[in-house]
């Protein structure tokens, strides 16, 4: 059945999406469960193939936004899911190596939600402007412009914090018509 | 020196490639099972709107999207409300009655000479017999509660994607077919033409139907009762048939909308015009039931409904109950608003389908 295939194909990226954005395993499990429950209810909106993942990111993003507003449903009965996710958090607890990222993390946290989400979709989910446009439901051009501005703000923050970096990735420069 | 993306990627708690295999953990499997055993119901705000039907036996056939959807007969009691046109694949839901109406007796077996290219003549195992009859495959389901893979393998053998799924229900609905969901996943513009037929949808002129023989018997419950599905040969979509099975203790009911139907927990309680919470709670207590609550929210633009669980202590006795669902044995969910609305949002034609099951 279609749904099962989509679920198996997209569970890992959606779990990754939620885990990277939620502070607690319980929240991440709720976001994953709610996202797929919505997908099941909206089965005929679910696009086929690769588009399904992008569509589900969009759903997960809304679920997460609701979650931040405190309106998510708790999926306490999903005990096995919660255990799986908790294991993931335990396994990837901040290590010494991660400490070097503390300054970057601080700068990142000070960005707006929108800037953070755009930058994350590129850096964490590996999406390009066209794919992000599908997730956010806007035009590719709008994504490019917003991404460019988000990168600038992030760069400025990093510079202020004394973090050495290149202003933006090659991938972002080319579509904006700049040379490397 | 690293660019911003590289710096950021170091902030990720986990990377997708580290998650390989997670889709098969117990948690992932359990979540999938619990989601797919839930009823497929229209969700608020999606544009898909099914008119209110009355009772679980009513026929519900509705297009997923206006503008794309097949024209279906008004006789089914179903109508569409305003919804944005879209190029989404169509989708039809129907309850047992609609599919069963006016069918001929099934069971004619086609000879191999009539077969088209690539399709098998039929398939049989202990749970199901599938035989070809002209443009249709006729599947006779002998044991509706057989192992899931028995049906899957049989339908696959003839190239069909049919999912026969037992779902937990209240005692009165055990053995009842809760409904069929038919979906075509072909790319827009390439799928078959679907229109209404006398006994079910016609897919490129060939009927897709479901019935029980003898008529209105309950598969798995009444002796000699056989479920018969007729599916057009080469049907490109999938069909989900939901069949009621006895719920295990504490298991949630798939026929949740049936709370006020005869024989159910709130049988006879009339909520059409809304009733005060205190009033309904008296009924709930009198029947030794427990009530939980959800707030009904009506989308100002689309009229779509959404529901938010509410702790009982926050619900006032003078609030209005507009509908009730049965959650599981002994527990009902009351759908409430603090203010009295001008009309019952579940009955104004724009609500999600109350009678999918």
B239 at A interface, C-beta within 8 A: no
| DSSP calls for B75-126 | GGS--PPP-----PPPEEEE-HHHHHTTPPPP-PPPPGGG--TT--SEEE-S
Contact criterion met (CB < 8 Å) for B14 and A167: no
Order across the sheet with B290-298: list the strands: B275-276, B320-328, B331-337, B290-298, B305-310
What are the chain B neighbours of A122 within 8 Å (beta carbons)?
Answer: 5, 8
The CA distance from A19 to the nearest CA of chain B, in Å, is: 7
The CA distance from A37 to the nearest CA of chain B, in Å, is: 6
Question: Residues 99 to 158 of B: which have CB under 8 A from any A CB?
Answer: none
pLDDT greater than 60 at residue A116: yes
What are the sequence ranges of the domains in chain B? 74-246, 259-337
Per-residue pLDDT, B172: 87
In this prediction, residue A92 has a pLDDT band, given cuts at 50, 70 and 90, of: low
Query: Does residue A2 sit in helix, strand or coil?
Result: helix
Longest dimension (CA), chain B: 76
| Contacts of residue B277, Cβ cutoff 8 Å, sequence gap at least 6 | B315, B316, B317, B318, B319, B320, B321, B334, B336
Per-residue pLDDT, A130: 92
- Cβ atoms of A10 and A53 closer than 8 Å: yes
Architecture label for domain A1-93: Orthogonal Bundle (1.10)
Per-residue pLDDT, B220: 76
Residue of chain A nearest B45, judged by CA positions: A42
Per-residue pLDDT, B79: 28
- Cβ atoms of A33 and A40 closer than 8 Å: no
pTM over 0.80: no
- Cβ atoms of B218 and B176 closer than 8 Å: yes
The partner residue sitting opposite B91, judged by closest CB among A15, A44, A88, is A44
| DSSP calls for B112-169 | GGG--TT--SEEE-SSEEEEEETTEEEEEES-TTS-HHHHHHHHHHTT-EEEEEEEEE
The partner residue sitting opposite B19, judged by closest CB among A12, A43, A168, is A12
The partner residue sitting opposite B43, judged by closest CB among A32, A42, A155, is A42
Per-residue pLDDT, B184: 64
Between A and B, how many CB-CB pairs are < 8 A? 167
Question: Residues 20 to 39 of A: which have CB under 8 A from any B CB?
Answer: 20, 29, 32-33, 36-38
DSSP letter at B3?
B
A86 at B interface, C-beta within 8 A: no
Per-residue pLDDT, B189: 63
Per-residue pLDDT, B188: 59
Contact criterion met (CB < 8 Å) for B2 and A165: yes
Residue in the block written with tokens 């479901």: B210
- Cβ atoms of A111 and A120 closer than 8 Å: no
What are the sequence ranges of the domains in chain A? 1-93, 96-180
User: pLDDT tens, A26-80?
Assistant: 889 999 999 998 898 888 888 887 899 999 999 999 988 887 776 666 776 778 8
User: pLDDT tens, A137-160?
Assistant: 889 999 999 999 999 999 888 888
| DSSP calls for B203-254 | ETTEE-EEEEESTT--TTTSTT-EEEEEEETT--SEEEEEEEEEPPTTPPPS
Architecture label for domain A96-180: Orthogonal Bundle (1.10)
The CA distance from A176 to the nearest CA of chain B, in Å, is: 16
Neighbours of B304 (CB within 10 A): 23
The partner residue sitting opposite B185, judged by closest CB among A2, A11, A104, is A2
Contact criterion met (CB < 8 Å) for A89 and B13: yes
Per-residue pLDDT tens, chain B, 357 aa: give them. Answer: 567 777 788 788 888 888 888 888 888 888 888 888 765 543 333 222 222 222 222 222 233 332 333 322 222 222 223 333 333 334 444 433 333 322 222 222 222 323 333 346 788 888 889 998 888 999 998 887 787 778 888 888 888 888 888 888 998 888 877 777 666 666 656 667 777 677 777 888 888 888 888 888 887 778 888 889 898 888 877 777 878 888 888 888 988 888 998 889 999 999 988 999 999 999 999 999 999 999 988 877 666 677 788 899 999 999 999 999 999 999 999 999 999 998 888 875 444 433 332
The CA distance from B8 to the nearest CA of chain A, in Å, is: 6
Per-residue pLDDT, B323: 92
């Amino acid at each position: 059945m279609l749904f099962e295939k989509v679920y198996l194909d997209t569970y890992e990226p959606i779990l990754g999406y939620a885990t990277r954005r939620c502070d607690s395993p319980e929240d991440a499990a709720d976001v994953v469960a709610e996202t797929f429950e919505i997908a099941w209810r909206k089965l005929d909106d679910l696009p086929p193939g690769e588009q399904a993942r992008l569509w589900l990111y969009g759903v997960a993003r809304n679920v997460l936004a609701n979650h931040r507003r405190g309106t998510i449903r708790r999926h306490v009965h999903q005990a096995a899911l919660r255990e799986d996710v908790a294991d993931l958090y335990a396994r990837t607890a901040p290590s010494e190596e991660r400490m070097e990222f503390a300054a970057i993390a601080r700068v990142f946290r000070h960005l707006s939600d929108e800037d953070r989400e755009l930058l994350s979709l590129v850096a964490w989910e590996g999406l390009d402007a066209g794919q992000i446009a599908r997730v956010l439901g806007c035009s590719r051009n709008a994504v490019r412009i917003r991404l460019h501005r988000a990168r600038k703000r992030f760069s400025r923050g990093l510079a202020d914090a004394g973090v050495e970096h290149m202003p933006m990735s090659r991938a972002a420069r080319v579509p904006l018509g700049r040379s490397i | 020196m690293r660019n911003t993306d590289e710096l950021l990627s170091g902030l990720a708690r986990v990377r997708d490639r580290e998650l390989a295999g997670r889709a098969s953990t117990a948690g992932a499997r359990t979540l999938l099972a619990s989601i797919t055993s839930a009823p497929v119901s229209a969700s608020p705000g999606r544009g898909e709107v099914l008119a209110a039907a009355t009772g679980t036996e009513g026929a519900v056939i509705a297009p997923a999207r206006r503008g794309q959807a097949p024209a279906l007969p008004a006789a089914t009691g179903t109508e569409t409300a305003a919804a944005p046109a879209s190029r989404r694949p169509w989708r039809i839901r129907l309850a047992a009655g609609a599919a069963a109406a006016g069918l001929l007796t099934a069971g004619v077996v086609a000879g191999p000479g009539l077969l088209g290219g690539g399709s098998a003549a039929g398939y049989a195992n202990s749970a199901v017999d599938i035989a070809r009859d002209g443009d249709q495959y006729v599947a006779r389901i002998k044991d509706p509660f057989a192992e899931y893979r028995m049906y899957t393998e049989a339908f696959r053998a003839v190239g069909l994607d049919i999912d026969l799924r037992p779902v937990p229900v209240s005692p009165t609905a055990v053995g009842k077919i809760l409904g069929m969901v038919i979906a075509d996943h072909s790319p827009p513009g390439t799928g078959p033409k679907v229109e209404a037929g006398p006994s079910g949808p016609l897919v490129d002129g060939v009927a897709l139907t479901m019935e029980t023989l003898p008529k209105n018997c309950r598969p798995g419950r009444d002796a000699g009762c056989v479920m018969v599905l007729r599916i057009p040969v080469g049907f490109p979509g999938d069909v989900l048939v939901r069949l009621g099975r006895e719920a295990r203790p504490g298991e949630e009911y798939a026929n949740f909308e049936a709370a006020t139907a005869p024989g159910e927990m709130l049988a006879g309680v009339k909520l059409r015009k809304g009733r005060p919470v205190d009033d309904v709670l008296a009924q709930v207590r009198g029947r030794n039931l427990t009530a939980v609550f959800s707030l009904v929210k009506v989308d100002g633009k689309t009229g779509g409904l959404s529901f938010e669980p509410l702790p009982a202590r926050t619900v006032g006795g003078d609030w209005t109950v507009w509908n009730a669902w049965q959650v599981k044995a002994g527990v009902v969910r009351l759908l409430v608003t603090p203010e009295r609305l001008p009309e019952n949002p579940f009955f104004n034609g724009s609500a999600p389908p109350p009678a999918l099951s």
